[in-house]
Every structure is written in structure tokens, then in C-alpha cells.
Amino acid sequence: MRKRCDKISKNNSKISKFAERNEATVATGAKTEKKSMTKKKKIEIGPGEDGIVIRNTGSSYIVRKENGEEVNCRVKGNFRIKGIRTTNPVAVGDHVLVSKAADDADYITSVSTRRNYIIRRASNLSKESHILAANIDIAALVASLRDPETPTTFIDRFLATAEAYGISAMIILNKSDIWDEYDRELAEGLKVLYESIGYKVMEVSAESGVGMEALRGYLSDKITLMAGNSGVGKSTLINKLVPGANLKTGKISDIHHQGMHTTTFSEMVDMPEGGSLIDVPGIRGFGTIDFAEEEVSHYFPEIFRTSKDCKYGNCKHLGEPGCAVKSAVESHYISESRYASYLSIIEEIRNPEKYRKPY
């Protein structure tokens, strides 16, 4: 542990510099589902077959039945989640029952209770939310150190959001083929930092194939949500993990150094070794949940652990006397970049207008 802390400390300034070059660009949220879905609205159609929703096309859903057949379904019944207005009542990853109606059309007639799900606001001003995916084993953030950079605030918001949904998260650092010595050290620093908190970090190059076998092994038999800011190589990575997935890949815009949006709806694809990947559309809107200020620290595990030693029970770690978190940051037991991300979420809660710009 001591060694790890030294290493974190050594890399702290490098990561801080990396963090400083970036700005918080994300906003949104939700919480782990407390209430289960209600189902069972009486319908007058045939017996159901089990299936899993693999694609959401906007107006309908593609369900893969247990026999492997894929059918295009509409929804029959009221599957709304209580207390949340959603644009889609059914999500990719949902286990559903599919029935044929007299007109030969297929309908989703019930949705099984979700283990978890992630949602995001349909748009910045909207009260409606969109369920991006359900029943996820791992939320993986594909990140890149350059071309484009993934800001550490973006990484930390993603991780905090996953914590809030109760989903394990990991980071996939892609494009290792273009790293120079500095980037390799930075990657090592990020790996040490995030693994010390409890998040798996894997370094890969989707292009050259380095690290891909290990990643494949790690993800097999799991349902993994794949997210990432545009241009990091998420589609390339998925295409490599799932030959035939045929996701469109985008060329990085020379002007903005930002990738273009290439997907609109979530989609689940299966890896040949077992396990599935859920590709979610432009994850820029996947960030903080509607956190209450005092909740934020709960989703930064190392801050939460340390906060037990703060002098005041309601300490927000913003400079109060006897704050154990602040002193842990000063002595490099907690990373400055993580603390900066924590502060940026608090700041966003206090000044929502400043942050909720359209993307």
C-alpha cells in the first residue's frame, strides 16, 4: 500500500496536469432502481417466448428469442418506471416476453425486473429520461490519452455515475500504439491510481491488437456496457471484439479534434467467446446523476472511506476544519485530480445553468 501511495504521489502532478488541460464536459443522471418494474397488463394474444432486447430502433425493438431468432417488436402494456418519465419503456438488455398477435406482429408483453439500468436525460432541459441499457455486469469506459483526450473529470463522472447505479466500472485505455514515453508513464499513473481505488484498468490498442486478448478474456461471459467520448475508438474496439458487428467508425475531425457521432441507439452484440457488449450512443450526456450535494462523496469510494475521519459528520470536504479528505489530498493519499472532479460535481450542482449546455 505504501508503495502504491508513493507511486500515486509521484504520478499525481502528471495526472493533475493532464486534468487541468481538460474541462468538465458532462452532465446528467439517475439512481439505482429501488422499485421493481411492474408488468402483467392483460393482453389478448398468444403465449409468450423469452427473449432479450438487443436493439432499440426508436419506434420498435429487436428481440433475440431463446432459439436465436431475431424479431422486430412493438410494446404492449405499461412498463413505465414509477416516478421517472422515460422516452422508452423497454431497454437494450431487458429480458422480455414476446408474443404474436392475431395480425402476426410481435409484441413485447412483459419485462422482467431489472438488476440495474442506466438512464440519462433525453435532452438537457427535458424532464424525460432515456433508458440506455439494463442488466449490466460492467460499465466500461473507453478512454484515450490523446487524439482525443478523455478528461479525467469525464472519467471520474462516469465512475461516480456507475457507483450510483451500483454497477462495477472499468477503464479501457485505448490507442496505446500512439503513446510516447510521457503517455506511457501517464497511463501507468492512471492505472495505479484507479486500481488503488478498485477499478480495473486495461491498456489496449484496437488498431495494433496489443492487449486485446487480455481484454477479450476479461469480458467473456459478462454483459458490458461500452461508453466513451467520441473518437476514442469505441466502435473500432467493438468491431475487433465482435467480428461482424460492423459498427460504423468515424474519422476524427481535423478541426475540432472531436470524433463525430456515429450511433444513435443502444445495441447489444455478442462476442464469439461468450459475453455481450452494449454499445451506447454518444455518452457525453452520461455524467452525474441528479446527485444531492452531500451524496457526491458516496460515489468516490476513497473519499467516502476517508470522510469517516472528518471532524464534522456533515463535512463536505470544501475546507471545513478537521477535514480528513482535504488532508489526505494534501498528503497525496487521495489524488488531486479525483478531488478536482469531486469539486467540479459540487460546483455543477451549485451552478447548474453554467454546466447544462447543449452538446
Which H, E and C letters describe 138-166, residue by residue? EEEEEEECCCCCCCHHHHHHHHHHHHHHC
Which one of the spans 88-96, 247-255, 266-274, 311-319 is the region binding ligand GDP (CB under 6 A)? 247-255
DSSP conformational letter for 246: -
Residue 290 interaction partner, one of Zn ion, ligand GDP, none, beta carbon < 5-8 Å per kind: none
- Closer residue to ligand GDP (CB): 12 or 235: 235
Residue 325 interaction partner, one of Zn ion, ligand GDP, none, beta carbon < 5-8 Å per kind: Zn ion
Single-letter code of the amino acid located at 189? G
How far lies 133's CA from each of 82, 112, 225, in Å? Answer: 17, 14, 8
Q: How far is the CB of 155 from Zn ion (least distance, A)?
A: 23
Q: How far is the CB of 95 from ligand GDP (least distance, A)?
A: 27
Identify residues 118-177 at the interface with ligand GDP (CB under 6 A): 174-175, 177
Strand partners, 133: 118
Name the residue among 188, 50, 36 with its Cα closest to residue 114: 36
Residue 340, number of CB atoms within 10 A of its CB: 18
Q: How far is the CB of 249 from Zn ion (least distance, A)?
A: 44
Binding status of residue 211 toward ligand GDP by CB under 6 A: no
**Total residues at the site for ligand GDP (CB under 6 A)?**
21
Query: What phi, psi does 65 have (nearest 5°)?
Result: -80, 170
Binding mask 290-329 for Zn ion (x = CB under 5 A): --------------------x----x-x-----x-x----
Q: How far is the CB of 96 from Zn ion (least distance, A)?
A: 45
- Closer residue to ligand GDP (CB): 177 or 330: 177
Contact 79, 90 (CB under 8 A): yes
Q: How far is the CB of 260 from ligand GDP (least distance, A)?
A: 7
How far lies 215's CA from each of 173, 218, 244, in Å? Answer: 11, 5, 18
How far lies 258's CA from each of 48, 144, 146, 252, 352, in Å? Answer: 45, 12, 11, 6, 24
Binding status of residue 234 toward ligand GDP by CB under 6 A: yes
Which one of the spans 161-169, 224-232, 300-308, 345-353 is the region binding ligand GDP (CB under 6 A)? 224-232
Contact 281, 266 (CB under 8 A): yes
Residue 55 interaction partner, one of Zn ion, ligand GDP, none, beta carbon < 5-8 Å per kind: none
- Tell me the DSSP string of 308-352: TTSSSTT--SSS-TT-HHHHHHHTTSS-HHHHHHHHHHHHHHH-H
Binding status of residue 231 toward ligand GDP by CB under 6 A: yes
- Closer residue to ligand GDP (CB): 177 or 309: 177
Grid cell for residue 184: 506511457
- Closer residue to ligand GDP (CB): 11 or 236: 236
Which one of the spans 110-118, 120-128, 228-236, 332-340 is the region binding ligand GDP (CB under 6 A)? 228-236
Q: How far is the CB of 191 from ligand GDP (least distance, A)?
A: 17
- Closer residue to ligand GDP (CB): 3 or 251: 251
Site of grid cell 426508436 = 58
Residue 272, number of CB atoms within 10 A of its CB: 11
Site of grid cell 487524439 = 147
Residue 233 interaction partner, one of Zn ion, ligand GDP, none, beta carbon < 5-8 Å per kind: ligand GDP
Alpha carbon distance 317, 339 (integer Å)? 9
Residues that bind ligand GDP (CB under 6 A): 174-175, 177-178, 205-207, 228, 230-236, 249-252, 259, 262
Binding site for Zn ion (CB under 5 A): 310, 315, 317, 323, 325
